[in-house]
Structure formats: C-alpha cells, structure tokens
Amino acid sequence: MPIPLTRKPHKLPNATPQLPPLPFERELMKKR
C-alpha cells in the first residue's frame, strides 16, 4: 500500500515523534 503523504517523507513518526499524534494517527495506532 502506498504511504499517504501526510508528513514529510524524511520525517518518520516512529523515528522522531516531534509532533503530537494526530487524531487519525491515534486511531491507526489503536487498530494496530
């Protein structure tokens, strides 16, 4: 599946969580 470009490609959420998790990101984390 193609990764949605919600964030910059070089910034990975799990690598450097500088920004607080967004609502839809929290939902994805809960489902996983």
List, for residues 2-20, the tens digit of each pLDDT value. 666 665 555 555 555 556 6
Confidence of residue 27 (pLDDT cuts 50, 70, 90): confident
pTM given for the model: 0.26
Q: How many residues does the chain have?
A: 32
> Which DSSP string corresponds to the chain?
-PPPTTS-TT--TTT---SPPPHHHHHHHHH-
Instruction: Write down the pLDDT at residue 16.
Output: 52
